[in-house]
Amino acid sequence: MFKKSGLRSINYRSVVRLLAYLLLFEAIFMLVPLGVSLYYGESDYYAFVTGILLTLLVSGFILTSVRGGLRDMGKREGYLLTSLVWVVFSVFGMVPFIVSSSPGLGFTDAFCETMSGFTTTGCSVLEDVEQLSHGIHMWRCLMQWIGGLGIMIFTLAVLPMLNSSGGMQMMNAELPGITKEKLSPRVSQTAKRLWMIYLLLTVLLAILLCLGPMSLFDGICHALSTMSTGGFSTHNDSIGAWNSWYVRLVVLIFMFIGGVNFALIYKASVGRFRISWSDETFRMYVRLIAVVTLILVIGYIVNSHPRWSVGVIVDPLFQVVSTVTSTGFSVTDYQSWGAFVFPILLGLMFVGASAGSTSGGCKLDRIIFLFKNCRNEINKCIHPNRVFSVSINGRVQSPELVSKVMAFLWLYMGLIIIGAMMLVLMGMPISDSLFASLSCVGNTGLGAGVTADSFASVPDAGKWMLSFLMLVGRLEIFTVLVLLSRGFWHK
């Protein structure tokens, strides 16, 4: 059948078996919120027991019925597996949200909430998160932490057998950015180093938060959602619930770190600080935050006339870092600062932070490519016979890479516009639809208007569409859209 239709022989057995192994990891992660529920004596521990048993049952059935190794993994298998694992993790990860009496979500809401968690988008369909149990809170934040650096990056770290079997393809398909920098000759070693940095930063943040007014539980939850730049909180007022400058400054610093390329963080950790500052994207990242914060502070003072306090500077700075890193935390009602805030946040949500970080957006690296390429085109009008190239960090980039970046940006904007149009057709206001679409494609999670407090009011069809946008945005478009092309499946 496949030969007659010209379908390429994809190694489905390896893909399915590896998905089964990954489900085992998800079941292991579910033990954490189960333990939290038992520790606090909460009755909804059975929701996690159900999720763990169902996940183990399906995983065990696949491993015993599907034979074959994991060696024959190529580029197509890497793309297929990377896209599928986020959907599969969301399907099984939503079980506790459905089974638990709080929140007791329906299928659509549970899937949207779970996809938002794993993709670190942070938009929630829950209108009152303070009614959730400790176990559900922990699972929401842990999902974001798992998805922050990447499910497949974690897999490469714990399954070194994939080092020579499609490992680089899977890393390229999932790790955000234009190019992927290997910290070690072996892909698995690079993945381990990235996850070790990620883990150590999370532990350090949890300790610092617990030294302030946060409880141990809140500190751990917010460390997980901050380092992943996810934004889920245990309180409806987010970070503003503590009204503490210490908490705001600590979270602000680590949100900033979450928006930095982890390869640069690794180099800084081994004493190579000059390389970090010499990075063109990092310098632009710092300048962007400084300039936009200054604009917000001036606008905040002119429009709101606040009494002078530390918050006049810290609150706008916090909101800028939270938005550009796609974390989505808030400490105050930024919409009350004036109408000028809305377009500025839209711009930050679109741009995002550095490639190779846990943040969303189209990435600052691509914006630098765009501006340099536009400058070259202008110069060509004056000097048509000269050859101009795009250079990043002193290295000339190939025309093919520049073309790919331009195509990505067009697709990125196209998805946002199509998503907004679909929401408008479903009855949502135009401005709110645009904000929601951009928020989900950029994995930011901020809402405006009808989605300011939660995404519960979005129609079910809209939630499925937004879930798709979250996935496409997290995997940076090509990894998912390539599956929709005929060439992927045919020779």
Q: How many CB atoms lie within 10 A of CB 185?
A: 8
Three-state DSSP at 271 gives coil
Model confidence over 120-142: pLDDT tens digits?
999 999 989 999 999 999 999 99
Q: Which helix (H) or strand (E) holds 300?
A: helix 280-304
Q: How many residues does the chain have?
A: 491
**pLDDT tens, residue by residue, 29-67:** 999 999 999 999 998 899 999 999 999 999 999 989 887
Nearest alpha carbon to residue 171 among 185, 158, 154: 154
Q: In which region does residue 22 sit, left (phi positive, over 0), alpha (psi from -120 to 50) or beta (all else)?
A: alpha
Q: What is the pLDDT of residues 183-192, one digit of tens each?
A: 555 677 777 8
At residue 395, the 3 state secondary structure works out as: strand
Q: Strands of 33-156 (E only): list them.
A: none
Measured distance CA(245)–CA(232) in Å, rounded: 20
What does the pLDDT read at residue 2?
38
Q: Look at residue 490 and give its three-state secondary structure.
A: strand
Element (H, E) at 60: helix 45-65
Query: 179-185 long-range contacts, Cβ below 8 Å, gap at least 24?
Result: 179/355, 179/401, 180/356, 181/261, 181/263, 181/356, 183/263, 183/266
Which residues of the chain register pLDDT less than 50? 1-7
* Residue 426 amino acid letter: M
CA 87 to chain centroid: 14
Determine the pLDDT at residue 10.
Answer: 77
Residue 77 is predicted with a pLDDT of: 81
Q: What is the pTM of this model?
A: 0.90
| CA angle (145 as vertex; 143, 147 as ends), nearest 5 | 70
Answer yes or no: are the C-beta atoms of 297 and 323 closer than 8 Å: no
